[in-house]
Amino acid sequence: MFQLLLAVDTSGKNGSLALARAAPGQGESEVSVLEVVPLTGGAFSAQLVPQIAALLEKHGYSKTDLGAFAVASGPGSFTGLRVGLAAIKALAEALRKPIVAISLLEAVACGGAARGRVFAALDAGRGDVYAGDYELDTDAHSHTRMSVVMHRERLLSREEFFAEARSAEADLPESKRKAIITPDAVLAEIVRAAGIQIELIEYPNSGMIARLAWGHLQRGQTVSPEGLEANYIRRSDAEIFSKPKA
């Protein structure tokens, strides 16, 4: 019996939502993404719920047919992330279905060709880089499932990122080196200009979030609506510039 999964990404200017289905025992690569619907212009609060309803109706489903939810938890836009997470929290709570939160850095890491130690990078603006250090491998029991271990995710200055990237290419055997991956073309150009190898991939969308979430779901890596939180990594301006009370 297949399970229906709704995935939402409102982390950036161009978000999306996806409807996918898979059967127990299938790997991430076997997940069938029925459709990915773009959410353009950043007006996610106005678009999200009507678009979800329209997507389900188009494919002959209602919200009660959904078996689980997936959401991009960040890093990204503070406002955008809040909108996406609030919608998923409300739906999951009403339907009593599990939620899988997926880091965009994990999606970037898994979107490249490299396996083993992977360094995922996203342009964070202000001269900073969101960086995720991951270990990727094929599941020993299934060639269609991915084993993902996150070592750490951080906000780095560009200089710190270059230092980390150069250490990834340091005097190590090739099998031990970290592959560096990004979907940001400008960041990739800057890194290459610094003489560092980097793989440029397409920006992960909610279809990718759905595939990754299926693997997490089968491993029981879910969160409750009250436990769902954004993975901002960077503090908000309000936190940075707020003055401590006397």
Q: What is the mean pLDDT of residues 54-69?
A: 96
- Model confidence at 118, pLDDT cuts 50, 70, 90, reads very high
Q: Specify burial of residue 64 (Cβ count, 10 A radius: 0-12, 13-18, 19+).
A: exposed
Phi first, then psi: what are they for 67, rounded to 5°?
-100, -20
State residue 55's pLDDT score: 97
Q: What is the mean pLDDT of residues 66-82?
A: 94
- Model confidence at 127, pLDDT cuts 50, 70, 90, reads very high
Q: What is the mean pLDDT of residues 80-98?
A: 94
State residue 26's pLDDT score: 82
- Model confidence at 43, pLDDT cuts 50, 70, 90, reads low
**Closest CA relative to residue 133, chosen from 120, 146, 124:** 120
The pair of structure tokens assigned to 81 is 């992330």
- Model confidence at 237, pLDDT cuts 50, 70, 90, reads very low
3-state secondary structure (DSSP) of residue 30: helix
d(CA 184, CA 115) in angstroms, rounded, equals: 20
The pair of structure tokens assigned to 151 is 């070592």
Q: Where are the domains of the chain?
A: 3-103+204-238, 104-200
Residue 188, H or E segment: helix 185-193
- Model confidence at 112, pLDDT cuts 50, 70, 90, reads very high
Q: Would you say residue 242 has pLDDT above 60? A: no
End-to-end CA distance of the chain: 60
What single-letter DSSP state applies at residue 176?
G
Q: What angle do CA 51, 184, 215 make, to 5 degrees?
A: 55
Q: Would you say residue 246 has pLDDT above 70? A: no
For residue 95, count other CB atoms closer than 10 A to its CB. 15
With contact defined as beta carbons under 8 Å apart, do 118 and 181 qualify? yes
The strand pair at 15-22 and 146-157 is best described as unpaired
pLDDT digits 0-9 by tens, 131-179: 999 999 866 444 456 788 999 999 999 999 999 888 766 655 565 678 9
User: Which CATH number does 3-103+204-238 carry?
Assistant: 3.30.420.40
Q: What is the mean pLDDT of residues 62-68?
A: 96
> How much is the mean pLDDT over the chain?
88
Q: What is the mean pLDDT of residues 122-130?
A: 95
pLDDT digits 0-9 by tens, 189-213: 999 999 999 999 999 999 999 999 9
Q: Would you say residue 90 has pLDDT above 90? A: yes
With contact defined as beta carbons under 8 Å apart, do 65 and 41 qualify? no
